[in-house]
Amino acid sequence: MADQLTGNSGRILVLAGGLCGAAGVALSAAAAHLGGAFVSTAASFLLMHAPVFLAVGLVGANRVLRIGSLILLVGLLLFAGDLLARDFLGSRLFPMSAPIGGTLLIAGWLVIAGSALWRRA
* Contacts of 79 by beta carbon, 8 Å cutoff, 6+ apart: 42, 45, 97, 98, 101, 102, 104, 105
pLDDT band at 10 (very low <50, low <70, confident <90, very high): confident
Q: How far apart are CA 107 and CA 20, in angstroms?
A: 19
pLDDT tens, 79-90?
999 999 999 999
Q: Is the pLDDT of residue 108 over 60?
A: yes
Q: Is the pLDDT of residue 35 over 70?
A: yes
pLDDT band at 121 (very low <50, low <70, confident <90, very high): low
Residue ranges per structural domain of the chain? 2-115
Mean pLDDT, the chain, rounded, equals 89
Q: How far apart are CA 51 and CA 59, in angstroms?
A: 12
pLDDT tens, 40-49?
999 999 999 9
Q: Which of 17, 4, 105 is nearest to 57 (CA)?
A: 17
3-class DSSP assignment, residue 120: coil
